[in-house]
Structure 1
Amino acid sequence: MDRHPVELLIEKADTAINREDFDTLMAIYAEDAVLVVKPGLEARGRDQIRKAFVAIADHFGHSLAVEQAGLVVLEAGDTALVLARTVVSATTLPPTVRNATYVFRRDPGAGWLCAIDNSYGHDLMIQDEG
């Protein structure tokens, strides 16, 4: 069975993050995309998203590793919802599994682009009560 084009883009994005290839990574995002940097902090648009990824790489001592341990792509017209089991690790972070949610939209000139990158998924709804 052929893989969905969005799955291939996510794989490309993971490789770009791991290699700190931010030019390749930005080409995967829509111009008006939103990245959840952490709960309560979002980057909007390619410029902010690029700056966020540079800061994240610095924060993790350039050792960040991202990979997918499972994906489901639900497509309707020009929109694709991705439910993912994303594994994030670094030298200072043991492998952490996140139930991520991504939204892609098909652009007539550019193909599929990531519009919403939320590696925290439903965890955004969990309020810190401490």
Structure 2
Amino acid sequence: MSTAGRCPCGLGEPYAECCGRLHSGAGRASTAEQLMRSRFSAFAVGDVDYLLASWHPSTRPAELELDPEQRWVHLEVLERTGGGPFDTGGAVRFRAHYRLSGEKGSLTEHSRFTKEGGTWFYVDGDHG
């Protein structure tokens, strides 16, 4: 996916002014939802380094390989619990839509996040 145009996270902002700032290190997520949206965008643009950096060290895999045939195309935030600027933990339930081998699909996940030293991290998630 191109990084020109609207951000894949669905907020309608230009990529460079939205999740692109987080991916480049020019900003950081202020909420768990913002981190989750930026991670969806990282999957959409293929930014493996950002995905690993935003994953909590206690659950982060040693490496991550994305399927080049899978295209992440749309994100729906279904529910939020905590995860605000003054919280240290939060959860976001979302549905991510993709295309793979010409077929449409979706993944629903309840993701958990923690904030340490002012930085939000993805911890883990349950599918379904």
Q: TM-score range by the shorter chain?
A: 0.5 to 0.7
Question: Normalization by structure 2: what TM-score?
Answer: 0.62
Could you say which structure has the higher helix fraction? 1
Alignment of 1:1-130 (within 5 A): 5-33=31-59, 45-47=60-62, 50-51=63-64, 54=65, 56-57=66-67, 62-66=68-72, 67-75=74-82, 77-90=87-100, 92=101, 94-109=103-118, 111-118=119-126, 120-121=127-128
CA RMSD after TM alignment? 2.2
CA–CA distance in 2 between the matches of 1:75 and 1:100?
A: 16
Moved over 3 A (4+): none
**Percent identity among equivalent residues?**
15
In the alignment of these two chains, the number of paired residues is 95
Unpaired runs of at least 5, structure 2:
1-29
Question: Normalization by structure 1: what TM-score?
Answer: 0.61
Could you say which structure has the higher strand fraction? 1
Unpaired runs of at least 5, structure 1:
34-44, 122-130
Structure 2 partner of 1:126: none
CA deviation digits over 1:12-69, x for unaligned, max 9?
1122112221111111110012xxxxxxxxxxx231xx33xx1x41xxxx13222312
Structure 2 partner of 1:127: none
How far 1:86 moved relative to its partner?
A: 1.9
How far 1:93 moved relative to its partner?
A: 5.5
